[in-house]
Amino acid sequence: MAKREASSSNAPTRKQILLSRREREQLRLVYIGLGLVAALIVIVLGIGAIQTFVIEPNAPIATVDGVEIITRAYQNRVKYERFLLDEQFQQLLTQRENAVASGDEQLAQFFVGQYDQLLNQLLQQRSILDQQTVDQMIDEVLIAKEAEARGITVSDEEINEAINRFLAARQGGLTAESAAETATARVEASATAALWTPTPTFTPSPTLTTTEQITPTATPVDTPTPAPTPTLNVIDDTALSTEYSNWLQTLAENTGVDEPTYRNIIRNSLLTDKVQEALGTEVPTSAEQVKARHILVETEEEAQDVIKRLNAGEDFADLASELSIDPGSAANGGDLDFVPQGTFLGPFDEAVFSLPIGEISEPVETQAGWHVIEVLAREVQELSPSAYQRSQQQAFDQWLMDKQSAAEVVNNWTFDKAPDDPNNPLQQSLPQAPVGSSGG
């Protein structure tokens, strides 16, 4: 009887059973809550990862007439363009350091100044590269549409040749094709030079006390010994193939650009060249040109004084030789010869092509100073090779501006859309050259 009572006293009471059940239920709810929190965290992290690695990279950074430019493509392109600029920067920096270490103080000072100018130009390009890249990619869409409309294409062979030329140049050489072109150009240049007959120089005869007329004797100019033609460094196909593989690996490691993307970049570059060339053939080879002369001075007051002296009857050419700070034209009385529109700085160009023939302009200000201008003649003439090339470039630039204005462009670019830039040379300052003053 006593044993039964002891056993009975050890059994849980109804209250204990209820409390135990309640505790187990509470634990179950806690575990469920923790599971839900964990699941929610996973979902949030998953959504963030999807947003970061899927949605954002594949979102359009710009749309051009319905053609999307994807953010991932833009970021890879930025990395590629940065890499090319930074490689140039490091090469120039190394050359600069070599100039400093040359031991020739004066030479080092000269070259360091030249290298610093080039380095600062690259840094300026680098500072606008992120935004400029999206603008360039927008332009490439417009150019590709024009190429399609004109039936202009780029073949795989052309892409291969462009890449090979680039890779050969990186090794200080040429492809077989570019070497052949260079050799042909040398032959043509030699043939042209052979057609030129040097003008003989005359040795003056001594003064003679005689009535006999002396004819100067022509002394032919000595024919210079031609310099030896440098041997062309031709990079063979095997070396180019190896270099191509190495280059693709370098791009993948440093920019994330794969081979199809790289070849497409080259294709777009070649398409741009071809469209520009096609538009250039449509530019007239002749244009209205103006023959003008000018006097350039530093201040408006000086320009007004020049005008007063001209109005008083002084000769324009004499004043140009006396007062003009433009050494290129001052020696010729301020004469600028015949030039087409677009040759000069904006305000000067506008004045030259609007001023009546024979009239003296009011002072015209440009970045160079203050100009007093007179137009001598205006007529249609053939463009010089350099002027024609400049006119072609202007025509392409204007065409592109017109296309940009007419296109439906949505540009979503902001600074945060650019990829991280841990190696930005803009964060570095150019080293000071340990070169003393040579002036004494």
- Mean of pLDDT values over 192-217: 39
Collect all residues with Cβ–Cβ distance below 8 Å to 21 and sequence separation of at least 6. none
Reading the block at residue 147, the tokens are 């190429």
Q: Give the residue from 166, 177, 157, 151 showing the smallest Cα distance to 232.
A: 177
pLDDT at position 196, please?
A: 42
pLDDT at position 185, please?
A: 58
pLDDT at position 187, please?
A: 58
Of 75-89, 131-145, 219-233, 352-366, least confident by mean pLDDT is 219-233
Question: In CATH, what class is 288-382?
Answer: alpha beta
pLDDT at position 286, please?
A: 93
* Distance, CA of 93 to CA of 428 (rounded, Å): 12
pLDDT at position 102, please?
A: 76
Q: Distances from the Cα of 257 to the Cαs of 81, 132, 159, in angstroms?
A: 11, 19, 16
pLDDT at position 226, please?
A: 54
- Mean of pLDDT values over 45-60: 61
Q: Are 184 and 176 in contact (CB under 8 A)?
A: no
Beta bridge partners of 174: 234
Reading the block at residue 420, the tokens are 């991280």
Q: How confident is the model at residue 8 (pLDDT cuts 50, 70, 90)?
A: low
Q: What confidence tens digit (pLDDT) does each residue in 246-284 have?
A: 999 999 999 999 999 999 999 999 999 999 999 999 999
* Distance, CA of 201 to CA of 194 (rounded, Å): 19
* Distance, CA of 256 to CA of 80 (rounded, Å): 8
Of 106-115, 181-190, 229-238, 334-343, least confident by mean pLDDT is 181-190
pLDDT at position 290, please?
A: 93
Share of the chain above pLDDT 90, in %: 57
Q: What confidence tens digit (pLDDT) does each residue in 291-301 have?
A: 999 999 999 99
* Distance, CA of 228 to CA of 38 (rounded, Å): 79
- Mean of pLDDT values over 305-327: 95
* Distance, CA of 339 to CA of 290 (rounded, Å): 6
More confident residue, 334 or 435: 334
- Mean of pLDDT values over 391-407: 95
Q: Is the pLDDT of residue 43 over 50?
A: yes
Q: Are 108 and 97 in contact (CB under 8 A)?
A: no
Q: Give the residue from 168, 134, 140 showing the smallest Cα distance to 274.
A: 140
Beta bridge partners of 371: 296, 364
Task: Work out the mean pLDDT of the chain and round it to a whole number.
Answer: 82
Collect all residues with Cβ–Cβ distance below 8 Å to 68 and sequence separation of at least 6. 60, 62
* Distance, CA of 407 to CA of 282 (rounded, Å): 22
* Distance, CA of 431 to CA of 213 (rounded, Å): 70
